[in-house]
A and B are shown apart, each in its own frame.
Chain A
Amino acid sequence: MSNKETIPFDLLKTNCAETPQIPEEIKRKLSLWEKLYNVPALRKITLLVFLAFAWQLYAAYLDNALMVPTLTDTARGFFEAVKSAELPLRTLTSLRVICIGYSGGVLLAGLLTVFAITTKPGTDLLEIFTAMFNPLPAIALLPLALLWFGLGYPSIIFVIIHAVTWPVALNIYAGFMGVSTTLRMVGKNYELAGFRFVFKILIPAAFPHILTGLKIGWAFSWRTLIAAELVFGVSSGSGGLGWFIYEKKNQLDINFVFAGLLTVIIIGVFIEGMVFKSIEERTVVKWGMKF
């Protein structure tokens, strides 16, 4: 505008650099190598391949199938056990047990937390219970469980419920407590109360914490299940994955032991990396609530 015209031309010129320095690389396409290196999955797969090679080489060098079977032996054992339907059946048994134990634990945790947020004694009770039982490894209760429920799956379900309930309850409770005052007031402003308030405001608002609790609970229960099955496998006909591992060790089929361990890992990774991940993508990531 008019201001511009009043500035002498010379003055404008003197403030400018004579020849502006332009960096040579402003923007260029990444090379194929750089692009591939930026894919985390690819980097991890490469590492896994290296580790597999190292395993194979070490096992071949050791040449002692009783200590460390080779990767190829393990793979052969795995496919044999899958073909004979033994491994799938054992896996199915384990999964069925964990389903019952896990849902039981989550349900109990939910009830305890609802009780805790609605009443003062409930809060105190939850705090006492979680403080006492959260540090207690579930597997330590197995001897007692065997005494109470006998040699059978009820005992294992009992210890799984113990493994799940406390971390899940702790996280749900922390989630409920962390719901912002503003969101609570919005809920009250809409005259939501009781269960409607819990389901329409508290649970979704606390969902990131709830999901974390469910994930931790799953990891605890899976470990507890396998460990419990190792200790306990008298009614071997219907044993789970843990029992499969124990049994194969006794028969000195060490490549089957490795195959069993691999199955435990694969299922763990699948549930965490696929099931929970996809729940996360559909909820907290989409809502921008992931912490």
Chain B
Amino acid sequence: MAGTNAPYRPFLEVRNLTLQYKTARYLITATDDVSFDVAESDRLILLGPSGCGKSTILKAVGGFLKPAGGSITLGGSGIKKPGADRAIVFQEFDQLLPWKTALENIVFAIRQTRGAGKAEAEEEAKVLLKKVNLSSFAHTYPHALSGGMKQRVAIARCLALKSKIILMDEPFASLDALTRQKMQEELLELWADTKITLVFVTHSIDEAITLGTRIIVLSPHPGKVVCEFPVDWSQINSKNHPEYAGLKERITRILFRDMDFVI
């Protein structure tokens, strides 16, 4: 926001986004006319059942998919191709380079995207590994790390890019329930530390309320925005709080209303 009189412009703007992809026989519309904004330091959650195109939206923001209609702009400029200004954490555990140790994975990210020197990159990578509590696994190869550890390295690697926004595509979906809860807490701590803008895709209502500052609920086939909920954490600061249950109830009802004809 340059001048004082300049109108408020959101950081990430998704406008009337229509995404399509082709299979062997059909042209499938994944999302239809989806619009939303993300302000800086937001933690925006895209929530919806499978088939609502939430991951596809994230891929489009990542630049891996050309929109069939509508536009995506980040910091005022349109997104045309993948780039290091949008760090991505995937759901798959194989996103780490298996031929590099945890530390080397982060060093690689730093050096490839920011052209930093080796010693400098290593120092920075060590700090990041400490942030995700993996200092003692710096020299371990990914295949010897647990699922939760791999995702932590992936998150550290994303922070290493120093991008303005992090896109997370169900990063905790393949983890066991206990690890998942722990990772959510850690992610919130990291956010408190960095105040980085986050777009987080999930199909878990609990995860959405726990992590988000705003939740966008999408309906399936094709994906459309159903409604948007702000999550006020000064009000809901515990899962036992009545507000939490109320919000969860409302989102559940909306999701199941849409699910009726799907199941």
Contact B98 A287 (CB under 8 A): yes
**Distance, CA A288 to CA B98, complexed state (A):** 7
Which A residues are in CB contact (< 8 Å) with B142? 288
**Distance, CA A289 to CA B96, complexed state (A):** 13
**Distance, CA A237 to CA B88, complexed state (A):** 64
B76 to chain A, nearest CB (A): 20
Which A residues are in CB contact (< 8 Å) with B88? 185-186, 189
Contact A289 B113 (CB under 8 A): no
- From residue 72 to 115 of chain B, which have CB atoms closer than 8 A to chain A? 81-84, 86-88, 90, 92, 94-95, 97-99, 108-109, 112-113
Q: Which of A188, A190, A192, A289 contacts B64 (CB 8 A)?
A: A188
Contact B113 A186 (CB under 8 A): no
Q: Which of A190, A205, A289 contacts B143 (CB 8 A)?
A: A289
Contact B113 A191 (CB under 8 A): yes
Confirm or deny: A44 has a beta carbon within 8 angstroms of a beta carbon on chain B. Answer: no
Tell me whether chain A's interface is mostly helix, strand or loop, or mixed: helix
**Distance, CA A185 to CA B88, complexed state (A):** 9
With contacts A183-B97, A287-B143 known, is A192 near B90, CB below 8 A? no
Contact B141 A183 (CB under 8 A): no
Instruction: Sample 15 A-B pairs with CB under 8 A, ordered by A number.
Output: A180-B92, A182-B90, A186-B90, A189-B82, A189-B83, A190-B109, A190-B112, A200-B108, A205-B98, A286-B141, A287-B98, A287-B141, A288-B143, A289-B99, A289-B143
Residues of A near any B CB (own CB < 8 A): 180, 182-183, 185-186, 188-192, 200-201, 204-205, 207, 283, 286-289
For the A-B complex with A190-B113, A191-B84 known, give 13 more contacts whose Cβ atoms are closer than 8 Å: A182-B90, A188-B63, A188-B81, A189-B82, A189-B83, A190-B109, A190-B112, A192-B112, A204-B97, A205-B98, A205-B99, A287-B143, A288-B142
